[in-house]
Structure 1
Amino acid sequence: MLKALLTDIDGTITNSSRRLDTEAVELIRSLADQGIIVVLASGNAPCFMEALCKMIGTQGSFIAENGGVFRVGYAGKLHVQGDQAEVLRALELLQDHYRKEGMELELFSPTYRFADLAFARTVPVEEVRSILRDQPVQVLDTGYAIHLQSKGINKGTALVALAPELGLVPADFFAIGDSLNDIEMLRTAGIGAAVANAHPAIKAGAQYTAEKEYGKGFVEAIKKYYPYFLAR
């Protein structure tokens, strides 16, 4: 029996151009209208996630910044996990390194983030990891941006913290994603699924992998497990 849906955004309910799949959006709205809790999860900043919740038509709960921030409902408190101060120190070290090489990192919405920091994938992620190997941060490559985050923080840890505020446990959730930053939430949820365009490591850890890619794969997976939601 499933009581809630936890879904990644980019690459999961979008198409290859990062545009929302309209069929996926309609299906999410249908689930929400039936009282099934829908939680959106992403590496994006909280302000982006709030706007997306309203546009899609969910109840307002989200996980942002790859698990560094979460909120339950539109009126809920913004919970911040991790230490952005240590992330800022790591970023400064990284910026100093690349400035010496005549490069400037392109930051994504730094003033709107509370836990992690993200920048464009204009530098090799393994090089970033090497430069920051002695720093207390983790380096995440979502395929859309490189993120610096406190160690031990991910979408899975956010799910563990968020679920009780909804009166649920992680096993009540159906989670679906495509990128490496989705691994922990798929493992933590009751059922974890992947779309066909997912990273091989995601597919290996998922209980179901859709035959279709992107938003069409999301729709396929939800329709397969739809009876489990109805059984509630």
Structure 2
Amino acid sequence: MTDIRMIALDMDGTLLDDKKEITSWTKKQIMKAHQAGVIIVLCTGRPFHHCYTYVQNLQLNSHLITCNGGQIFESDYTTVIAEYLLKAEALADLYRYAHDLKMDTWTISSKEPFYNDIPNNYNDYRWLKFSCSHKDEKILNKIEAKVHSIDGIEVSNRTAVTVEVNPAGVNKAAALELVCEKLGITMKNVMAVGDSLNDVRMIQSAGIGVAMGNGQPAVKQAADDITDTNQHDGVGKAIKKYILSAEI
């Protein structure tokens, strides 16, 4: 059995069910693993303020990775140990292009998110992530092509209706590797669980990579195993199978 010392959990579509809640049974498995000494790291595309309540709910005291690896927090959840920013002009360029395509947008700064808008003084902000959505695949293809035309940025995630953008090289796997280095472990000591394209790299790099039953096909192909869906305690079942069954 692989020596798993850390569990890295995506949130939406993975840890959270469709009501954006953690089921009581999955929470119990997380708490058991945590009490047994396994480090629990939430590794999400969400910004800090949209995930901290879940950190509190799980009573975690470990690192936190937000914005697809754009920010990494120390275990006190106030100290930022790494931050990777989009250039303000690139952000504004993407926003204008998406706005012209009539896409919904949300841009994440280090202070606050902006929905379908950016401030006039956008150069004064530190931008972490750009996201946009549309139901038309052709529109999504256009914004993805636009991203490829701008130096220093890349698509970090794409679903059937959304495109997320981060600085080039920023991803959950790279963030986890930094956390592992600080803790004196390696990615081989990590079990990573996720459902979307922004989870593929961490699933491939982990000692045990687990895809959710509701995950995208590319995620399942990259994984060592496929657990149940987010509606049926997929995270809890993976923890029970690979962590708690080892009687650590």
Which residue number corresponds to residue 49 of structure 2?
47
Q: Which structure shows the higher strand fraction?
A: 2
Could you tell me which residue of structure 1 aligns to residue 219 of structure 2? Answer: 202
Count residues in correspondence: 227
Q: Give, in angstroms, the shift of residue 46 of structure 1.
A: 2.0
Pick aligned residue for 1:133 from 148, 159, 167: 148
Q: Quote the Cα distance in structure 2 between the aligned partners of 1:173 and 1:186.
A: 9
Unpaired segments ≥5 residues, structure 1: none
Q: Distance in 2 between matches of 1:139 and 1:28?
A: 31
One-letter code of the match for 2:20?
R
- Percent of residue pairs bearing the same amino acid type: 22
Judge conservation of contact 2:30–2:239 (CA < 8 Å) in 1: no
Answer yes or no: is 1:118 the counterpart of 2:120: no
Spell out the pairing of 1:165-204 with structure 2 (5 A cutoff). 165-204=182-221
* 1:57-112 superposed Cα distances (whole Å, 9 cap, x missing partner): 21142111101111231267312343322xx32221123334446x3643254333
CA contact (8 A) 1:4 1:36 kept: yes
Query: In structure 2, what is the equivalent of residue 5 of structure 1?
Result: 7
Q: Which one of the candidate residues 84, 89, 94 is aligned to 1:82?
A: 84
Q: Verify the 8 A CA contact 1:81 1:153 in the aligned structure 2.
A: no
Distance in 2 separating the partners of 1:77 and 1:68: 14
Deviation at 1:115, TM superposition (A): 5.5
Maintained 8 Å contact 1:128/1:139: no
Call closer, same or farther: CA 1:230–1:112 in 2, change over 3 Å.
farther
Unaligned runs of 5+ in 2: 114-125
Question: C-alpha separation between the residues in 1 aligned to 2:246 and 2:84?
Answer: 33
Question: Normalised by the size of structure 1, how large is the TM-score?
Answer: 0.86
Counterparts of 2:97 and 2:235, CA distance in 1: 40
**Structure 1 residue 229 displacement after superposition:** 5.4
Which residue of 2 is the match for residue 155 of structure 1? 172
What is the DSSP-based 3-state SS (H/G/I as helix, E as strand, rest coil) of the residue aligned with 1:107?
strand
8 Å contact 1:36–1:229 — kept in the other structure?
no
Aligned position for 1:32: 34
Q: Is the 8 A contact 2:7 2:190 kept in 1?
A: yes
Equivalent position SS for 1:132: helix
Given the superposition, is the C-alpha separation of residues 37 and 224 from structure 1 closer, same or farther in structure 2, using an over 3 Å criterion?
same
Indicate if the aligned counterparts of 2:98 and 2:105 stay in contact, CA closer than 8 A: no
Q: Are residues 109 and 138 of structure 1, via their aligned partners in 2, closer, same or farther at CA, if it must alter by over 3 Å?
A: closer
Q: What amino acid is the match of 2:105?
A: E
Per-residue CA distance 1:112-161 (angstroms, 9 max, x = gap):
37553233413733211112322121123354853221111100000111
CA contact (8 A) 2:91 2:130 kept: no
- Give the direction of change, closer, same or farther, for the CA distance of 1:90–1:213 in structure 2 (3 Å limit): same
- The verdict on how the C-alpha distance between 1:151 and 1:52 changes in structure 2, with shifts beyond 3 A counting, is same
CA deviations on 1:160-194 (whole Å, 9 max, x unpaired) are: 11112222211111111111000111111111011
Q: Do 1:49 and 1:62's aligned partners in 2 also have CA atoms closer than 8 Å? A: no
